[in-house]
Structure 1
Amino acid sequence: MHSAHAHPAACENCTAALQGAFCHQCGQSAHSPVRSFGHAVEEVFESFWHLDGRIFRTLHQLLRPGRLAVAYLAGHRTRYIPPIRLFVILSVLTFFVARLAVHVDAGTFVRQSPKTPEVPSAFRDASTADEVDNIRRALLAPLEQSRQTMPERLRTPIDKAIRKVEKQAERRQRELKKRPPVAAASGDAKVAAPQPKVAPAPGAGNDPVDIGFLPGFVNRWLTGQAETIRLNLPRIRERPQLLVNAFFASVPSALFVLVPLFAVLLKVFYVGSGRLYLEHLVVALYSHAFLCVALLGILLLSMLGGQVATVPGTGAVVGILIAALLLWMPLYLWLMQRRVYGQSLLVTTVKFVALGWLYFTAVTTATVILAIASLARI
């Protein structure tokens, strides 16, 4: 009778006869993690430490400008994480942290500066001076009651709200006084009752988008997106963090377009280097992987600076470190470009500036498009 830990006679993956702890045909382990808890735990830790070691080796080489790209293009690939996998992991991690680090919610600074209570603009529907006065009293009553129950140092937002209500009431009174009297067609004629307002149909809030060189279905789609953005604007004003989250969630997808574009630019600028497009793509992936690492460092430093802001001197140190990272990013890319392609200082600098300008233009355009698209995704 075989024990629970006995090896099977044949590989469970390819049915080849087993001669040891691993299959010589496909490399699968003879141990089955689903039949032994000990083997399952062993496999988890083995995979973790193996992957962890590759991550450290890869990041160590990545932080040295061009070293990882040169090694990968020279065929030394076993010890390192593949460039596409490294880029995906770092980009997703970086922009996930960005969503946690960047806060623009209206309630974030409540303790530092109390928010002025929102006052509805109800006066525009008032048609007589008496209606304006009634609305003014209805709005002021709860504000004045709240003001009386609050300490003196916390009354400033309430006082601002009271003044705002008074200004709205005065403005509407002036508008009503300037309105010309309605002339009757005859002595017996009655003034027509105001017609009820009809809510606009969906898509009717904005003029339809009509760009001549685009097909009709694209213009209709853009019109729908514009209407969605218009409807989302009130929510963004109340919770601007929604726009930040939507933007950062979309950035990794945009990078999958920008990175191949950067590789195309490298191919054009280094057309005589003899390298294939996929080799330029490897350089582009490692370049953006480093930028993700640098941006991740800036985000973490910003979060740390917020936590230790009360400690004297830490703010200056954090600021210096962030500035150093910002300066290191273009210098790193220049050094990487020179090490990979091996051209002179002058030629590398000219190509770096020209390529950087073109790519910066593309990134800026993509950022604007992405910000607009994020308005429709909330």
Structure 2
Amino acid sequence: MTPSHDAVHASACENCQTLLQGGFCHVCGQNAHNPLRSFGHAVEEVFESFWHLDGRIFRTLRTLLSPGRLANAYLAGHRAPYVAPLRLFVILSVLTFFVAQLTLHFGEVKLPKPPPTEDGKANLVAAPDESGITFSKQTTVDAVIKERDQMLEGLVAARTTLPPGLGFVRERMDQNIFATQRLARERIAQLQPDHPVLAQPDRYPEGQPLPEVPEGSLISIGGKPFDAETNPVRIDWLPDFANRWFNKKLARAEKNVPRVTQEPELFFTRLIGSVPSALFVLVPVFALLLKFAYIETRRVYLEHLVVALYSHAYLCLCFLAICLVQAIGNLFASDNFWAAIPHRAVIIGLLAWMGVYLLWMQQRVYRQHWIITLLKFSVLGALYFMMLITALISLVLTTWVNT
């Protein structure tokens, strides 16, 4: 009997025109539901194609909690009940680092407050050296003037070396220059109220802009400040276009110094968002390490890749749990050390369990003696840790340049 035709269910497959006998075409496999005719089916298709949130995802996650059980089942041919390893890894990695962007935060970087002076007021002038000399310790006007001039000379000299991107530091130096003069006058007035120097104007009147000075650079080339156009970095063995690209990125990184300092949240968010891309490179490399470590098992590379994908999927799951625990801890944030112990203990426990899980999984999948497994696990862990650190450094530099 030909199925009834309505606005949502067609009587024949719209792809190959085969008469339908159920919810899917038995020739090409296309769904009989037309997502363009029903909003509900359209939403269902989105979830099914990307997340595939049917009973398998929950069965897969439940099985994944047991070290090595899911990988062994999949390698043994029991693939239908579970989500494929690559799809599971993609889902968990994207979800995990999306949640990480929402739950992990870094506040604004604030410069430390200056220490109070003897009279309880904030001392806006940093000590000129580690001896902690201040104007309050000077007992003569000449000593105050000498100390003031040394401070001003040092601050003005340092101000001229700042690169364009560190304008906010220059503003703090300007404040210190004005404060140096003000506090020096206050000290002179305490020592000798009628001293002639009090009738003279300050070298840098407060409230007026300081003299313009040439801006420096964080990088010097040939004793001169770096400039992508006039004084670039030149690597002889690179072609001209590569040197131009490198100098462009270097200039961008230098300009991003104040952005990263003033907006660490933006930098951190973009850094976290780029981690899944790095994992797509690290996972195949980890599978290659497993191949070399267990070459005597004669397993093909794709079998090791399955183990790598499921192990990284579990690590993403643990990191997701850490993010959620941290978010819950932030809701009950307290300055009390003891109040923060429970959620910190959970996070430390999850981090410790991640290593135990991976060791246990490796032993269950490859079925070698615990001592041999531990030895291989240690070597693989050390190599992978070095690769992970390298990848993180590369991510930080890439994010810094492209922020």
TM-score by length of 2: 0.66
Return the alpha-carbon distance in structure 1 between the equivalents of residues 239 and 397 of structure 2: 21
Return the alpha-carbon distance in structure 1 between the equivalents of residues 41 and 175 of structure 2: 71
Return the alpha-carbon distance in structure 1 between the equivalents of residues 249 and 43 of structure 2: 50
Instruction: Give the counterpart letter for 1:350 in structure 2.
Output: L
Deviation at 1:254, TM superposition (A): 0.9
Q: CA RMSD in A?
A: 3.9
Deviation at 1:316, TM superposition (A): 2.0
Task: Give the direction of change, closer, same or farther, for the CA distance of 1:213–1:56 in structure 2 (3 Å limit).
Answer: farther
Return the alpha-carbon distance in structure 1 between the equivalents of residues 376 and 23 of structure 2: 54
Range 99-108 or range 82-91, more displaced: 99-108
Instruction: Give the counterpart letter for 2:286 in structure 1.
Output: F
Whether 1:279 and 2:281 are equivalent positions in the alignment is no
Range 255-264 or range 199-208, more displaced: 199-208
User: Residues 205 and 227 of structure 1 are in contact (CA less than 8 Å); yes or no, is this contact kept in structure 2?
Assistant: no
SS in 1 for 2:297: coil
Deviations 1:136-187, CA, capped at 9 Å, x for gaps: 9xxxxxxxxxxxxxxxxxxxxxxxx97774137789xxxxxxxxxxxxxxxx
User: Residues 8 and 37 of structure 2 are in contact (CA less than 8 Å); yes or no, is this contact kept in structure 1?
Assistant: no
Return the alpha-carbon distance in structure 1 between the equivalents of residues 343 and 353 of structure 2: 15
Q: Which residue of the partner structure matches residue 264 of structure 1?
A: 288
Q: Which residue of the partner structure matches residue 27 of structure 1?
A: 29
User: Residues 60 and 83 of structure 2 are in contact (CA less than 8 Å); yes or no, is this contact kept in structure 1?
Assistant: yes
In structure 1, the gaps of 5 or more residues are 110-118, 120-128, 137-160, 172-193
Instruction: Give the counterpart letter for 2:13 in structure 1.
Output: C
1:348 is aligned, of 373, 390, 397, to 373
1:241 is aligned, of 265, 283, 287, to 265
Whether 1:301 and 2:346 are equivalent positions in the alignment is no
SS in 2 for 1:106: coil
Q: Which residue of the partner structure matches residue 364 of structure 1?
A: 389
Whether 1:98 and 2:100 are equivalent positions in the alignment is yes
User: Residues 8 and 38 of structure 2 are in contact (CA less than 8 Å); yes or no, is this contact kept in structure 1?
Assistant: no
Task: Give the direction of change, closer, same or farther, for the CA distance of 1:238–1:345 in structure 2 (3 Å limit).
Answer: same
Deviation at 1:209, TM superposition (A): 4.9
Q: Which residue of the partner structure matches residue 400 of structure 2?
A: 375
Structure 2 matches for 1:99-248, cutoff 5 A? 99-106=101-108, 165-167=178-180, 203-204=228-229, 207-210=232-235, 216-248=240-272
Return the alpha-carbon distance in structure 2 between the equivalents of residues 9 and 53 of structure 1: 28
Return the alpha-carbon distance in structure 2 between the equivalents of residues 43 and 96 of structure 1: 22
Deviation at 1:33, TM superposition (A): 4.5
Q: Which residue of the partner structure matches residue 157 of structure 1?
A: none
Whether 1:67 and 2:69 are equivalent positions in the alignment is yes
Q: Which residue of the partner structure matches residue 82 of structure 2?
A: 80
Deviations 1:10-69, CA, capped at 9 Å, x for gaps: 322211133455432233444544446786688789989972422211111111111111
Whether 1:252 and 2:276 are equivalent positions in the alignment is yes
TM-score by length of 1: 0.70
Return the alpha-carbon distance in structure 1 between the equivalents of residues 40 and 398 of structure 2: 50
Instruction: Give the counterpart letter for 1:349 in structure 2.
Output: L
Return the alpha-carbon distance in structure 2 between the equivalents of residues 59 and 261 of structure 1: 24
User: Residues 104 and 326 of structure 2 are in contact (CA less than 8 Å); yes or no, is this contact kept in structure 1?
Assistant: no
User: Residues 246 and 377 of structure 1 are in contact (CA less than 8 Å); yes or no, is this contact kept in structure 2?
Assistant: no
Task: Give the direction of change, closer, same or farther, for the CA distance of 1:266–1:213 in structure 2 (3 Å limit).
Answer: farther
2:59 is aligned, of 57, 82, 99, to 57
Return the alpha-carbon distance in structure 2 between the equivalents of residues 300 and 94 of structure 1: 10
Task: Give the direction of change, closer, same or farther, for the CA distance of 1:217–1:278 in structure 2 (3 Å limit).
Answer: farther
Range 194-203 or range 60-69, more displaced: 194-203
Task: Give the direction of change, closer, same or farther, for the CA distance of 1:25–1:3 in structure 2 (3 Å limit).
Answer: closer
Return the alpha-carbon distance in structure 2 between the equivalents of residues 295 and 6 of structure 1: 42
Return the alpha-carbon distance in structure 2 between the equivalents of residues 250 and 11 of structure 1: 41
Return the alpha-carbon distance in structure 1 between the equivalents of residues 400 and 354 of structure 2: 30
User: Residues 65 and 333 of structure 1 are in contact (CA less than 8 Å); yes or no, is this contact kept in structure 2?
Assistant: yes
Identity of aligned residues (%): 50
Deviation at 1:3, TM superposition (A): 6.8
Task: Give the direction of change, closer, same or farther, for the CA distance of 1:331–1:72 in structure 2 (3 Å limit).
Answer: same
Q: Which residue of the partner structure matches residue 350 of structure 2?
A: 325
Deviations 1:316-348, CA, capped at 9 Å, x for gaps: 221221111011001100011111111110110
Instruction: Give the counterpart letter for 1:227 in structure 2.
Output: A
In structure 2, the gaps of 5 or more residues are 112-123, 125-144, 153-173, 185-210, 217-224
Return the alpha-carbon distance in structure 2 between the equivalents of residues 50 and 103 of structure 1: 31
Return the alpha-carbon distance in structure 1 between the equivalents of residues 106 and 231 of structure 2: 28
User: Residues 20 and 30 of structure 1 are in contact (CA less than 8 Å); yes or no, is this contact kept in structure 2?
Assistant: yes
Task: Give the direction of change, closer, same or farther, for the CA distance of 1:372–1:83 in structure 2 (3 Å limit).
Answer: same
